[in-house]
Amino acid sequence: MGNYIKEANYLKGLAILLMFIGHAATPTFLKRPLSYEIVVQFIYSFHMPLFFIVSGFLAVKSININFRNDYFLLLKKRIIKLGVPYVVIALITNIALNIASGNITINGFIESIKTTIFYPELGAMGALWFLYALLIISILTPIITKISLEASIIITIIINIFGPRDLYFLAINRISFFIVYYLIGMYVRKCYEDKKLKNINNKNIIIIGSVIFLGIYSLIISKGIVINRIIFNLYMFLCGLVGSLMMLLIIEKVKKCKGIISTVEIFGKYSMDIYIFSWFFQIISMILCTKILNISNYNIFFVSNLIIGSISLPFSVYFIRKIKILRIMFLGS
C-alpha cells in the first residue's frame, strides 16, 4: 500500500472521528450551549468536504474508465457499496417508525419511501445523505471529467458558490456543493502520482492560520452573523479546502506517534461501520438521557452519547461483519 493511500485512510479516520463527535453534540434532544456550538461548527466547516476529497482521491481511476467495458461494472460496485446500505437502512427505519407511531398505512409507508428516494435528506434517515450524494457523484464523475478534470473543477467551483442551497430533490443541494471536493481529491491524487506535490514547509504556521480561518467561520455561524451570500458561500468553499489541508498536516505531525496513528488507522478502516451504526446508538443514548433519566446537563448528555455511541464499532466488527448477508446489506461489502 502506497504512503498516500495510508494517508488517505488516516484522513478518513480523523474525519469519521470528527463526525462522531459532531453527532454526539446534536441539539435535537437538548439545546446545545454556545461553547459546544462553536466547536461543532468548526468541525462541520470542513469534515464533510474532507470525506469527499478522500473519496475522490481513492477513485481517481474512474477518470480514464472505458465506458463500453467498465462503466456498468463501476455502476454495479457503487450501487452495492453505497446504494444497498442506504436503501436497506432507510427501509428498516421507515418500517420501525411506522410501527412505533401506531399509524401503519400503505399510503403512508409509500410516501415515506418516496421521500427517502427523491428527498434523501428529508427522509427518516436523513443522516445518511452522504451515501446517496456520493453514489450520484461517483456515477457522474466519469462522464463530466471527459471535458478534462481541470475544467470540471472550475465549473463545479462556480456551481459550489452560486448553486442552490435548498433544492433537496435528489440531493441536488448536497451534490452541487460537494462534487467539487470529490474532483479536487482526484486532482490531488494525480499530483501525488506525478510527483508534482513537494513537502510543505512551515506546517505549524499553516495549522495555526487554518484554525484561525475556520474559527472565524465558526463564530459567524454560532453568533448568527449575516454577511453577503456570495462572500459567505466562497468562505464555506475555502473552509473545506483549508480544513482538509490542516488535517493532512496534522497527520504528518503525528505520524511518528504509533499509538495515535494506529488508532486513527482503525477508525479509517472501519469508517463505514462508524458512520452507519453510531447514530443509532447515539439516538438510544439521547432518548435514555432526556426522556427516561431527564438529564438536562449537556456535558453528561454529550459524554453519554460518546460512550454509548462507541459501542457501534465492536457491534459492527464482531456481529455485522461476521455474517455475510448483514455485511452486504449494511456495509455494502
Of 309, 284, 276, which Cα lies nearest the Cα of 29? Answer: 284
Q: Does residue 113 share a domain with residue 139?
A: yes
How is residue 197 annotated by DSSP? Answer: P
Residues 6+ apart with CB under 8 A from 197: 188, 191
C-alpha count within 13 angstroms, C-beta hemisphere, residue 161? 14
Q: Does residue 289 share a domain with residue 145?
A: no
Of 247, 289, 231, which Cα lies nearest the Cα of 24? Answer: 289
Burial class (CB in 10 A: 0-12, 13-18, 19+), 220: middle
Examine residue 16 and state whether it is found in any structural domain, yes or no. Answer: no
Q: Does residue 188 share a domain with residue 49?
A: yes
pTM to 2 decimals? 0.94
The predicted-structure confidence for 82-107, as pLDDT tens digits, reads as follows 999 999 998 888 888 777 777 677 78
Examine residue 52 and state whether it is found in any structural domain, yes or no. Answer: yes
Q: Does residue 267 share a domain with residue 214?
A: no
Segments in 45-171 forming alpha helices (H): 47-58, 67-78, 84-101, 106-118, 129-144, 149-162
- Looking at residue 306, its pLDDT comes to 98
Q: Does residue 106 share a domain with residue 96?
A: yes
Examine residue 7 and state whether it is found in any structural domain, yes or no. Answer: no
Q: Does residue 252 share a domain with residue 269?
A: no
Contact between residue 119 and residue 88 where contact means Cβ atoms under 8 Å apart: no
CA separation, residue 130 to residues 133, 200, 245, 290 (Å): 5, 31, 21, 28
How is residue 126 annotated by DSSP? Answer: G
Examine residue 58 and state whether it is found in any structural domain, yes or no. Answer: yes
Q: How many domains does the chain have?
A: 2
Examine residue 2 and state whether it is found in any structural domain, yes or no. Answer: no
Q: Does residue 271 share a domain with residue 204?
A: no
Q: Which cell is 252 given?
A: 504528518
- Looking at residue 1, its pLDDT comes to 47
Q: Does residue 263 share a domain with residue 247?
A: no
Contact between residue 301 and residue 295 where contact means Cβ atoms under 8 Å apart: yes
Q: Does residue 184 share a domain with residue 95?
A: yes
- Looking at residue 94, its pLDDT comes to 80
Exposed e or buried b per residue across 19-39, where buried means at least 16 C-beta atoms within 10 angstroms of its C-beta: bbbbbbbbeebbebeeebbbb
Residue 322: domain span? 257-332
Q: Which cell is 30 given?
A: 437538548
Residue located via cell numbers 427501509: 91
**Alpha carbons 227 and 229: distance in angstroms, whole number:** 6
Per-residue model confidence as pLDDT tens for the chain (333 residues): 456 678 899 999 999 999 999 999 998 899 999 999 999 999 999 999 999 999 999 988 888 788 778 899 999 999 999 999 999 998 888 888 777 777 677 787 788 888 888 999 987 778 899 999 999 999 999 999 988 999 999 999 999 999 988 999 999 999 999 999 999 999 998 887 655 555 677 888 999 999 999 999 999 999 999 999 999 999 999 999 999 999 999 998 888 888 999 999 999 999 999 999 999 999 999 999 999 999 999 999 999 999 999 999 999 999 999 999 999 999 998
Of 16, 14, 55, which Cα lies nearest the Cα of 261? Answer: 14
Exposed e or buried b per residue across 97-107, where buried means at least 16 C-beta atoms within 10 angstroms of its C-beta: bbeeeeeeeee
Examine residue 11 and state whether it is found in any structural domain, yes or no. Answer: no
Q: Does residue 279 share a domain with residue 314?
A: yes
Q: Does residue 238 share a domain with residue 279?
A: no
Examine residue 4 and state whether it is found in any structural domain, yes or no. Answer: no
